[in-house]
A and B are shown apart, each in its own frame.
Chain A
Amino acid sequence: MSLEWMYWTGTTAIFFTTIFLMLVGMLIWELVSPTVERRGFFLIPTTRGTRFFLGLLGSAYIHLAWLGLTDLPLWYATGISVVWVVIAIRWG
């Protein structure tokens, strides 16, 4: 099977692998200690998976905002995103 039409690059391969590994990590975490639905600062009842989803979605928006508003390197946005995902999962 040729995957040439997908135009893979190293960057996107790393990107998707990271997402995949995070999902696997979430799965293992869930098997080790199942999530309990609760209310955090998102104000809606969320499971760990929902908070993770919001963490990722928020990260995408953080990166877009960074690109649109500043000319600084994108790595800062990535750093903020990591902090954001941790905050979202812990207190969201």
Chain B
Amino acid sequence: MEKWPNNKAWFLVLPAFIIVAFSGIIPLMTVVNYSIQDIFGPGEAVFVGTEWFKEMLGNHRLHDALWRQFMFSGLVLLIEIPLGILIALAMPKRGWGVSASLVILALPLVIPWNVIGTIWIIFTRPDIGLFGVGINSLDLLEVPFDHTAKPIYAWITLLAMEVWHWTPLVALLAYAGLRAIPEAYFQAAKIDGASAWATFLYIQLPKMRGVLTIAVLLRWMDSFLIYAEPFALTGGGPGNTTTFLSIYLVKLATMQFDLGPAAAFSLIYFLIVLLFSFAFYQALLNVGRGEKA
């Protein structure tokens, strides 16, 4: 590859870098500083070394929250990505149906998180909610449905809410990817007599790799950092069964005001997100690399 002689274009990145420095790097440095001190008040801090990290690494509530978080994010990806692709495949390709389905899909995306929590609380209430009353009138469940009654109910409600809220994003991204495939590919597939499944597997799926990378990364990070929805819906309960990492972190930092442990916890959290995002990004970047695009 020929090297460009003038690299001054890098200076155009400078504004973005300065913004990131203020919004990301300086706060991160502050968190690192917090994580090795016990801060009692303004100007009163005692150096404690790695004590908070040791405490947090051995903290069972953190371990539990971490497993719950992995389970939740894993389920979210397993449900939302295939479902989003299915919806995108089923969407009309021309005519008024395109605009109609785009608007309907975009609706959940424009509702604020806390409102979504409230909507789902009302929707699943066993006394007035459409879903709650509906499923209870079928008389199938041993314990009447109420998202505060059993951990499994809380999980189902949370997952349903998350899927309802964010699958449209995956669908819209997948749809954009599908629409960008030149018609010639499908004509060639037709000439070869390829089945719908083969067309999907060898044309549509590989061509969607770029948008699916973004979808997986966004959904992974968002669901791994999820806070507002479980906070609004369950507040982490029943018991601690829906206490995800961020909920536990906020409890630690702002309710108990344990800034040091919370900072150590944040950094561990940050490292996990960093590792997984890198792994996902690389995996999706390198799938099928080497074959002709």
Do A and B pair up? The answer is yes
A68 at the interface (CB under 8 A from B): yes
Q: Which residues of A contact B49 (CB under 8 A)?
A: 11
Known: A7-B33, A7-B39, A7-B45. A61 touches B57 (CB 8 A): no
Q: Which residues of A contact B274 (CB under 8 A)?
A: 57
Complex Cα distance, B286 from A86, in Å, reads 25
Pick the residue among A6, A11, A53, A61 that contacts B30 (CB under 8 A). A6
Complex Cα distance, B282 from A54, in Å, reads 12
List A1-43 residues whose CB lies under 8 Å from chain B: 4-9, 11-12, 15-16, 34
Complex Cα distance, B29 from A74, in Å, reads 21
Q: How far is the CB of B170 from chain A (nearest CB, A)?
A: 25
Complex Cα distance, B271 from A54, in Å, reads 12
Q: Which residues of A contact B282 (CB under 8 A)?
A: 44
Contact with A along B25-38 (1 / 0, CB 8 A): 01001101110110
Q: Which residues of B contact A68 (CB under 8 A)?
A: 54, 57-58
Q: Which residues of A contact B286 (CB under 8 A)?
A: 44-45
Q: Per DSSP, are chain B's interface residues mostly helix, strand or loop, or mixed?
A: helix
Query: Is A8's CB under 8 angstroms from B278's CB?
Result: no
Pick the residue among A4, A11, A16 that contacts B29 (CB under 8 A). A16
Q: Which residues of A contact B54 (CB under 8 A)?
A: 67-68
B99 at the interface (CB under 8 A from A): no
Complex Cα distance, B42 from A4, in Å, reads 9
Query: Is B271's CB under 8 angstroms from A15's CB?
Result: no
A64 at the interface (CB under 8 A from B): yes
Q: Per DSSP, are chain A's interface residues mostly helix, strand or loop, or mixed?
A: helix
Number of interface residues of B (CB under 8 A): 28
A-B contact count (CB 8 A): 54
Pick the residue among A9, A61, A67 that contacts B50 (CB under 8 A). A67
Q: How far is the CB of A54 from chain B (nearest CB, A)?
A: 8
List B108-154 residues whose CB lies under 8 Å from chain A: none
B17 at the interface (CB under 8 A from A): no
Query: Is A9's CB under 8 angstroms from B37's CB?
Result: yes
Q: How far is the CB of B20 from chain A (nearest CB, A)?
A: 14
List A37-76 residues whose CB lies under 8 Å from chain B: 44-45, 53-54, 57, 60-61, 64, 67-68, 74
Query: Is A12's CB under 8 angstroms from B33's CB?
Result: yes
Known: A44-B286, A67-B57. A74 touches B50 (CB 8 A): yes
Query: Is B29's CB under 8 angstroms from A12's CB?
Result: yes
Q: Which residues of A contact B36 (CB under 8 A)?
A: 9, 11-12
B275 at the interface (CB under 8 A from A): yes
Query: Is B53's CB under 8 angstroms from A67's CB?
Result: yes
Complex Cα distance, B267 from A61, in Å, reads 11
Q: Which residues of A contact B37 (CB under 8 A)?
A: 7, 9
Minimum CB distance partner of B53 in chain A: A67
Q: Which residues of B contact A57 (CB under 8 A)?
A: 271, 274-275, 278
B268 at the interface (CB under 8 A from A): yes
Minimum CB distance partner of B39 in chain A: A7
B185 at the interface (CB under 8 A from A): no
Contact with A along B1-16 (1 / 0, CB 8 A): 0010000000000000
Q: 10 tightest A-B contacts by CB?
A: A68-B57, A7-B33, A6-B30, A12-B33, A44-B282, A67-B53, A67-B54, A60-B271, A12-B32, A7-B45
Q: List 24 A-B contacts (CB under 8 A).
A: A4-B42, A4-B43, A6-B26, A6-B33, A7-B33, A7-B34, A7-B37, A8-B33, A9-B37, A11-B36, A12-B29, A12-B32, A15-B32, A16-B29, A34-B3, A45-B289, A54-B278, A57-B275, A60-B271, A61-B271, A64-B53, A64-B57, A64-B271, A67-B54
